[in-house]
A and B are shown apart, each in its own frame.
Chain A
Amino acid sequence: MENEKIKTTEAIAFLTILSVTNIILSSSQYILKDCNSSSLLNSIYVTIIAMIITMIFCILAKPFTQKNLLNISDFLGGKALKIIVGLSFTCFFIFRASILLKKLSICLQTIYYSMTNIIFIVALFCITTALILRLQNNSIFKSTLLVVPLLFLSVILIFAGNLQNFNFVNIFPIFGNGLNSTFVTGLNNLWVFNSLAYIWFIPSKLKNPDNFNKIAITTTLLIGIFLFIAIANILFLFSNTLDNSALFPLYLSSRYIEFGSFFQRMEPLFLFFCTLGFICTLCVNAYIIMDILRNVFNLSDEKPLMFPYLLTLGGIAIIIKKISTLEYLENNIAKISFFVLGIGVPFIILILANIKKKFLRRKLN
């Protein structure tokens, strides 16, 4: 892979799409299940918390400009810590991507390909990703920059199109299942901002590393806005009737849209944009994982790594048979992994690295 640098806007799109596809495919449904009518309030709350966490991380990362988490781990704990951190994040990213792949494949099979084995649908995504990864990295960055506004626009249009069907009373009771579920256990919903886990691997790739703070904060804000619109859309339309649905709620809400008698049945278009967005997510995920492995094992060329990556991704997606298993893995394992790896580990590493740096500076002085 050639070492192209990512521009600021490309980096923002790069990181935003990882959370946006997560919101579309899964997390919005879980937020509604947990918080009920207070989902909107909870989405604002977690966005504020995520912004605060991002700002704290930006302050902690300030002494380490242009250094990614692996470099900082190497500085802190040597090669051993670097390998542990690298492999942990690789496993987490592959696991997360395979769950989303399985979800989208089930959705496509239910709606369009009922006679096709899911293995072929999963394989189709994997092969598409492989073909894109063989091209230059610019294709990933620029296509992501194109797809993210399309996804934003489609969700805004779904919101506007469903205005006549909205029941704004669904927002009451305002605290839903109680203050505890909204503000205390509702903090679990921070996992929506899973871009925070990926943010640590892009500083060395940026064209303008000084814009790292701007990229981090803008990404969090955009994800928060998208989450708000998506949750509002689902809450006002469905309220608490959407307990267990095989199809993701935004797709179901797009089935209501009718602009006159000409523009009806717009949901295939929305599904098309989601599929494009998901392919971009897989490519971004692959790019970051291959970069981590190249960094950890000092590889000269990481392109051959895409085959084991895609095989592992597809394999995990195929192994999960039941939807209940999928939901358990997503709602429990992936959530906990995000809090440990996405927030906990970088936080601890950055604090210890800052302390070590200050200590070394004092020693030198």
Chain B
Amino acid sequence: MKSFYKWSIIIVTSLIFLYAFSDSYSSENIDKLDYVIAIGLDTIPDSNNLEISFEFANISSFSEDSSSKDSSPIINTVTTPSFSSAINLMNAYVGKHINLAHCKVIVFSEDLAKKGILDIVSSLINNSQIRPTANIIISKGKAGEYIKNSVSSLEQVVTKYYDIFPSSSEYTGYTSNIILGEFYDSLISKDVGSVAILGSINSKSKNNQDSSNNNSGSDSQDSSSEENSSNSNQNETNSSNSSEESRKYFFRKLYKL
């Protein structure tokens, strides 16, 4: 009789805990999550609202059946007064719970950066999902456009590209691996000035765009689609005299705030 009571208590307790923790387990299930790999923040003229773009990982591109061609990024944009409300709105819009644990790049537009981004960066650093090793980039144009065109012809998988592009700081002097944690510390500190990576979109001219070694392989691939051949790569240098029709490739080491 005693063992019957003992086993009953054990089973009932186990069932209660299974029920209690099942919600947390199922809410964090990979099928119910949308992983954000990049965030772009823009300012809206004559408004205090922000235009926040989320780039989502296209899970189907990692499947065995997917073709070798890179799939276009999935980007959704919302207009909200703050970053936290953007998360809420995006959760409602996409249907799945968005997860920021794999966010590798956070892009601010130059206009927004000039206004001041301390409160936004504070929200980001206090978010328990966003890793402090995410890179901070200031974009010359719109951050949403930057994310949309941030592809590399040499690396098909966007997540891998975001992961490895800061490593070029180890062997070139043209960039630096500025991470969110470091950026926030320098923003708060009175003794250190904060710096971030500067990025921009460049578009190819008809004939004479051969700026760097990084882009040499992409010319043949993209020559057929001239209109859509905007290619952003912050590791490229400002090469030669460009034609009037195209924007210059340019890259600066650091954008000082």
The residues of A with any CB-CB pair to B shorter than 8 Å are 110-117, 120, 123-124, 127, 165, 167, 169, 237-241, 245, 247, 252, 255-256, 258, 261, 265
Closest 9 CB pairs of A and B: A115-B23, A120-B20, A113-B24, A115-B24, A116-B24, A241-B188, A115-B27, A241-B185, A116-B20
- Which residues of A are found within 8 Å of B192, using beta-carbon distances? 169
Distance in angstroms from B251 CB to nearest chain A CB is: 24
Judge whether A124 and B24 touch: CB under 8 Å.
no
Q: Taking A127-B13, A255-B131 as contacts, is the C-beta distance between A114 and B185 under 8 angstroms?
A: no
In the complex, which of the residues A110, A116, A261 has the most CB atoms of chain B within 10 Å of its own CB atom? A116
Judge whether A261 and B28 touch: CB under 8 Å.
no
**Does more than half of chain B's interface fall in helix, strand or loop, or is it mixed?**
helix
Judge whether B13 and A255 touch: CB under 8 Å.
no
Judge whether B17 and A258 touch: CB under 8 Å.
no
Judge whether A165 and B17 touch: CB under 8 Å.
no
Judge whether B27 and A258 touch: CB under 8 Å.
no
Judge whether A239 and B24 touch: CB under 8 Å.
no
- Which residues of B are found within 8 Å of A261, using beta-carbon distances? 163
Judge whether B185 and A113 touch: CB under 8 Å.
no
- Choose one: B16, B133, B184, B189; the contact of A258 (CB below 8 Å): B133
Judge whether B23 and A239 touch: CB under 8 Å.
no
Question: Is the CB of B21 closer than 8 A to any CB of chain A?
Answer: yes
- Which residues of B are found within 8 Å of A255, using beta-carbon distances? 131-133
- Which residues of B are found within 8 Å of A169, using beta-carbon distances? 191-192
- Choose one: A112, A165, A245, A247; the contact of B24 (CB below 8 Å): A112
* A-B contact list, 15 entries, CB within 8 Å: A111-B128, A114-B24, A115-B27, A116-B21, A116-B24, A117-B20, A120-B16, A120-B17, A165-B181, A169-B191, A241-B188, A245-B126, A256-B181, A258-B133, A265-B131
Judge whether A239 and B128 touch: CB under 8 Å.
no
Interface string of B174-204 (1 = CB under 8 A from A): 0000010110110011011000000000000
Given A116-B24, A241-B189, A252-B132: 9 more A-B contacts, CB < 8 Å: A116-B21, A117-B20, A120-B20, A120-B21, A127-B13, A239-B185, A239-B189, A241-B184, A255-B133
Q: How many Å lie between the Cα of A255 and that of B21 in the bound state?
A: 24
Q: How many Å lie between the Cα of A113 and that of B128 in the bound state?
A: 13
Q: How many Å lie between the Cα of A261 and that of B163 in the bound state?
A: 9
- Which residues of B are found within 8 Å of A240, using beta-carbon distances? 188
